[in-house]
């Protein structure tokens, strides 16, 4: 399997883990103000650590992770959009049991994607420069 397939699989694994965390921990952390803030800070830090670990595991540096982060985000974003839409309409309970928690999950996941892209862009170093 080439590296693109590896990054797609990593994106799918991240989605499965995020769905489980949001379903079971989301109602706990997204209710209280202090826990809510700590959850967002942990989310931001998790992105930085994850990019570095994935880079090392795939033989890259953190400076070469912009394209892989984009590839990893594609399947996760598609599944997030479908899942949150279904949750908000009461069709499934993948992320949340109520439309309000589905909205909180959506905002939290958008911030997670932003965090990954933030670090990938900040650390990106083009070889041609």
Dihedral, CA of residue 4, residue 78, residue 104 and residue 68, to nearest 10: 10
| Residue 55: band (very low, low, confident or very high) from pLDDT cuts 50, 70, 90 | very high
What gap in Å lies between CA 106 and CA 18, rounded to an integer?
A: 11
| Residues 57-89 as b or e (16 or more Cβ within 10 Å = b) | eeeeebebbbebbebbbebbeebbeebbeebbe
Does pLDDT of 27 surpass 80? no
> pLDDT > 90: what percent of the chain?
38
| Residue 68: band (very low, low, confident or very high) from pLDDT cuts 50, 70, 90 | very high
Residue 37's pLDDT is: 83
Among 72, 91, 73, 69, which residue's Cα sits nearest to residue 82? 91
- Quick one: tokens of 85? 């839409």
Q: Where are the domains of the chain?
A: 3-123
Name which of 9-18, 27-36, 80-89 the model is least confident about.
27-36
Does pLDDT of 61 surpass 50? yes
Angle in degrees, 0-180, between the axes of helices 66-88 and 99-123, rounded to the nearest 10: 170
Contact 108, 22 (CB under 8 A): yes
């Amino acid at each position: 399997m080439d590296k693109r397939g590896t990054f797609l699989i990593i994106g799918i694994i991240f989605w499965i883990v995020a769905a489980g965390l949001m379903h079971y921990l989301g109602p706990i952390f997204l209710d209280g103000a202090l826990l809510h803030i700590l959850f967002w800070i942990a989310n931001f830090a998790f992105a930085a650590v994850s990019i570095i670990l994935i880079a090392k595991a795939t033989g890259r540096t953190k400076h070469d992770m912009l394209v892989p982060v984009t590839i990893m985000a594609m399947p996760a974003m598609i599944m997030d959009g479908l899942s949150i839409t279904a949750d908000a309409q009461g069709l499934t309970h993948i992320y949340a049991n109520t439309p309000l928690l589905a909205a909180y999950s959506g905002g939290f996941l958008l911030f997670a994607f932003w965090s990954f892209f933030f670090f990938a862009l900040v650390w990106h170093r083009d070889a041609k420069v």
